[in-house]
Structure 1
Amino acid sequence: MFADEGYELALVGGPVRDLLLHRKSHDLDLCSSARPEQFEHILRAWGHDGFWDMGRKFGTLGAMRRRPDGTAVQVEVTTYRRDTYDPDSRKPEVDYGDSLEGDLSRRDFTVNAMALRVPDLEFVDPFGGASDLAKGVLRTPVDPRQSFDDDPLRMMRAIRFVAQLGFNIEPETAQAITEMTDRIRIVSAERVRDELVKTLLSSRPRAGIEALVDSGLADIVLPEIPALKLEIDEHHRHKDVFEHTMIVLDRAVALETGPDGPVPAPDLELRLAALMHDIGKPATRKFEDHGKVSFHHHDAVGAKLTRKRLRALHFDHHIVQDVSELVNIHLRFHGYVDEPWTDSAVRRYVRDAGPLYERLNRLTRADATTQNKRKAQMFSDAMDEMEQRVRDLKQREDIEAIRPELDGNEIMQLLGLEPGPQVGAAYRHMLEYRLDNGQVGHDAAVEELKRWAASAGK
């Protein structure tokens, strides 16, 4: 349809890369010599099942149509272009280009700078992207300093491709990133966050985070992580916290479940919690007698630092709350190994974890990285035992939504109270009683309320 009206059209970027990797692409990116106002009617005519123009100011329009088997094909067509940044601007300026080769030259890496002209199916690879793809190398089509100066986010994309594709960054490109890390400051927090999320949700998040730290970018976008590279004391009595964190991240990923399990892979909140769980350690490190090192309250300090960093990266409120809470309570289980809890303590653990219970248990298991096989087995056995106790309790009572057996209205009626602080105090006592004793029945709960009121002088 484009060719009939005299316009060039080519498949570009990720879909071409995926073709060479023998992967399917349901969303197709194309570029064209035509301007949006020239090809809009073509997309509207082709896209029986959808049309969108949110990217019009960037020269991009999209459309969708369904195949006879019901599967959808989405296409986005963009006018040949080039992006440049004003040195002080967070947003790219878009200029239209006039050739496919020129458009490819402004793309982030050679493996994304390949095209397939349609309808003739002519393969276009002016920068050796196919060779780099075969070698697993990330290299920019033009001088990397020019490329990263034009769009500094490309430095974060390089890290993401290390995690997603298992590629290595070509030495000159890696050196340019190290020299230009400060340039990332002009990119909006949202765009940095999105690249970080894609890195964490990839199949190799550890490789991505290690590359982020090695490049120096983490010093700016996630400084709490390189700060974990604490010097190991001369007696080697505590683990390198950064290396430990990378192991925990790997283990947490391995503990995610299939789509029907309680923590389907990939799980952003679990992975973020694994990454951030020990960031309170540098601020709380203390050298004790006999060469010992302590990190008292690093969980609470780490939760505050996590909340601050995720807010700075503009994560959604619920992610900020969930991840910081996981960091805050990630040590809760450790006392169980030495002295198994009472049923009331198990109830409190489940209540405090709330909807984070399954993630918390996986984070706790991932954090047990001791090389002592006997200790590791004891910890695993204790965790298994606690989880079985939770399952047994759930069969007898709804411990995930524990409430007193008397509600506020009943408390006021039985004690002759008006709404106020006294009702709240009575309710809290009955909740603690419920946690300690389980379900005792309405009559026993009434007797306990009366006993408490008498002893408290209510």
Structure 2
Amino acid sequence: MNADDPLTPLALLAQAERTIAGLPVGDLVAEFQSRGLPIYLVGGSVRDALLGRLGNDLDFTTPARPDVISPILEAWAGSVWDTGIEFGTVSAVHRGQQVEITTFRSDTYDGVSRNPAVMFGDTLEGDLIRRDFRVNAMAVEMLIDDRGELTARFHDPLGGLADLAARRLDTPDAPEISFRDDPLRMLRAARFVSQLGFSVAPRVKAAMSDMAGEIERITVERIQVELDKLMLGEAPWAGMNLLVNTGLAGYVFPEIPAMRDMRDEHNQHKDVYAHSMQVLRQAIDQEQEGPDLVLRWAALLHDCGKPDTRAWNEDGRVTFHHHEVVGAKKVRRRLRALKYPKHVIGDVSQLIYLHMRFYGFGEGQWTDSAVRRYVTDAGELLPRLHKLVRADSTTRNQRKAARLQRTYDHLEERIADIAAREDLARVRPDLDGNEIMQILGVPAGPVVGRAWAFLKELRLERGPLEREAAIAELRAWWEAEQSQGTS
């Protein structure tokens, strides 16, 4: 089912029945049933089964305690891991199917951290009501019938099926209680909006707005994980809009709502926030191998330096000089604060830094040297830079949009033409460090580094040189260095 399909409870149940009947867990269910222990598919697994999008990770719950669950799973799968056993969870993989089985829980929260005092429960309903949203608070009791076939019995004490049919997110308890127990659930709401195409119930949105500051109780590592899941969803702009409109984004990524808060009484430039969301959509349209987290973050944040660089020239026109430089710095700081990996920080900020470089190409014919520098500075990011720059055209003027795309087509043709004549993927000096030392008769040290940098600049400017020409240029440079006393 996709986000545009009409959902009815009967259609959802029929979809789930077909999905669950094909799960390779009949022998596991039989083991629990032979011991008189019920076992339930639960949470997101039930939601996804109803939507026809169940993956290879299955979540189960049971009244059995971990010391009972472990030997059953070991006999079924051969090996288990119990890293979550303090929370009552035992996991295994069998026939490509990952299974997590958790004892009924009845947790309590202290209202300070998001970590509950784990308490095992005795009822299915008690386990379900502690969950984040009603669409995640349904269960399917797994049974083996008299014919030895896997069957299912649906449990929905909190109305999750109705919410799912309405594409609505609502909490089992009052949202204020749910979010006070675990503020991360507010980010999960935005993530599900992005992933599932759902909306949030009015009372949930109101509680998110009123309690946005509670998100500061959550570690940045957990925030980063939820933000990435949101950004990798089918409609990240929808999830981000919810974070911005409720004020949560101001706490977790303030550079994003800052783009919306720009006001221009003269209406001399497009809404930066709306433009960024459109660029995000257009970048996603160019993805060819699945969601690209780096491209998506760069598309959303490429203009985040504009609020700090807005000015007016003598003609009264608004300008944003060097917003790409400022934006790259801001993004590096924010992503570091959110504990992103270094390679993600570097790639996203470099794309932002480079995204305006192309516009110089439209002002006149670039030299081969300029094209080489464009490719070299982008490095492995060049395919993403192509997509980002093309996505950055959101003008409604069809003639202008077509001109920009033609200009970029021409740049890519120039890149391909030069690449056919020389190795643009790895622009290196024509002489390496050992050759430099041998030719100049110098030991390893700063001189070799400066000579290498000179030859690299020469390579960018003039393209590949014959060896003798490169040696002559190196010796001429060295004579100049010695005459200036910089050796």
Q: Paired residue for 1:395, among 395, 420, 423?
A: 420
Q: CA deviation at 1:328?
A: 1.5
Indicate whether 1:15 and 2:40 are aligned: no
Q: Which digits, 9 at most, give the CA deviation of each residue in 1:138-192, with x for residues without a partner?
A: 1111111111111111111110111111111011111111111111111111111
Q: CA deviation at 1:90?
A: 4.6
Q: CA deviation at 1:40?
A: 0.9
Report what 2:297 is aligned to. Answer: 272
Tell me whether 127-136 or 427-436 shows the greater mean CA deviation.
427-436
Q: Aligned partners of 1:250 and 1:113: how far apart in 2?
A: 32
Q: Aligned partners of 2:426 and 2:116: how far apart in 1?
A: 49
% of aligned pairs identical?
Answer: 50
Report what 1:202 is aligned to. Answer: 233
**Residues 1:331 and 1:82: Cα distance change in structure 2 (over 3 Å):** farther
Tell me whether 5-14 or 147-156 shows the greater mean CA deviation.
5-14
Q: Aligned partners of 1:25 and 1:306: how far apart in 2?
A: 34
Q: Aligned partners of 1:242 and 1:265: how far apart in 2?
A: 25
Q: Paired residue for 1:74, among 98, 110, 128?
A: 98
Indicate whether 1:104 and 2:124 are aligned: no
Q: Aligned partners of 1:232 and 1:226: how far apart in 2?
A: 12
Q: Aligned partners of 1:74 and 1:229: how far apart in 2?
A: 42
Report what 2:393 is aligned to. Answer: 368
Q: CA deviation at 1:7?
A: 2.1
Q: Aligned partners of 1:25 and 1:269: how far apart in 2?
A: 24
Tell me whether 202-211 or 394-403 shows the greater mean CA deviation.
394-403
Q: CA deviation at 1:456?
A: 4.0
Runs of 4+ aligned structure 1 residues displaced above 6 Å come to none
Report what 1:64 is aligned to. Answer: 93
**Residues 1:355 and 1:220: Cα distance change in structure 2 (over 3 Å):** same
TM-score (norm 2): 0.88
Q: Aligned partners of 2:42 and 2:114: how far apart in 1?
A: 26
* Secondary structure at 1:78 match in 2: strand
Q: CA deviation at 1:231?
A: 4.0
Q: CA deviation at 1:304?
A: 1.2
Q: Note if contact 1:111-1:129 (Cα within 8 Å) is conserved in structure 2.
A: yes
Question: Gapped runs of 5+ residues in structure 2?
Answer: 1-30, 144-150
Report what 1:94 is aligned to. Answer: 118
Name the amino acid aligned to 1:146.
Answer: I
Indicate whether 1:113 and 2:137 are aligned: yes
* Secondary structure at 1:77 match in 2: strand
Q: Note if contact 1:232-1:238 (Cα within 8 Å) is conserved in structure 2.
A: no
Report what 1:282 is aligned to. Answer: 307
Q: CA deviation at 1:56?
A: 0.8
* Secondary structure at 1:278 match in 2: coil
**Residues 1:292 and 1:85: Cα distance change in structure 2 (over 3 Å):** farther
Q: CA deviation at 1:26?
A: 2.2
TM-score (norm 1): 0.94
**Residues 1:140 and 1:384: Cα distance change in structure 2 (over 3 Å):** same
Q: Note if contact 1:83-1:151 (Cα within 8 Å) is conserved in structure 2.
A: no
* Secondary structure at 1:234 match in 2: coil
Indicate whether 1:189 and 2:220 are aligned: yes
Q: CA deviation at 1:25?
A: 3.3
Q: Aligned partners of 1:418 and 1:4: how far apart in 2?
A: 78
Report how many aligned residue pairs link the two structures.
446
Q: Paired residue for 2:341, among 291, 316, 334?
A: 316
Q: CA deviation at 1:331?
A: 0.9
Q: CA deviation at 1:355?
A: 1.0
* Secondary structure at 2:80 match in 1: strand
Q: Note if contact 1:237-1:291 (Cα within 8 Å) is conserved in structure 2.
A: no
Report what 1:160 is aligned to. Answer: 191
Q: Note if contact 1:164-1:199 (Cα within 8 Å) is conserved in structure 2.
A: yes
* Secondary structure at 2:255 match in 1: coil
Q: CA deviation at 1:344?
A: 1.0
Indicate whether 1:303 and 2:328 are aligned: yes
Report what 1:143 is aligned to. Answer: 174
Q: Note if contact 2:191-2:226 (Cα within 8 Å) is conserved in structure 1.
A: yes
* Secondary structure at 1:399 match in 2: coil
Indicate whether 1:54 and 2:83 are aligned: yes
Q: Aligned partners of 1:60 and 1:215: how far apart in 2?
A: 34
**Residues 1:352 and 1:7: Cα distance change in structure 2 (over 3 Å):** same
Q: Which digits, 9 at most, give the CA deviation of each residue in 1:187-245, with x for residues without a partner?
A: 11111111110110011011111111111110101111111114442331111111111
* Secondary structure at 2:113 match in 1: coil
Indicate whether 1:173 and 2:198 are aligned: no
- Cα-Cα RMSD: 1.6
Q: Note if contact 1:249-1:271 (Cα within 8 Å) is conserved in structure 2.
A: yes
Q: Aligned partners of 2:163 and 2:112: how far apart in 1?
A: 33
Question: Gapped runs of 5+ residues in structure 1?
Answer: 67-71, 258-263
Alignment of 1:219-368 (within 5 A): 219-257=250-288, 264-368=289-393
Report what 1:218 is aligned to. Answer: 249
Q: Note if contact 1:10-1:117 (Cα within 8 Å) is conserved in structure 2.
A: yes
Q: Note if contact 1:253-1:265 (Cα within 8 Å) is conserved in structure 2.
A: no
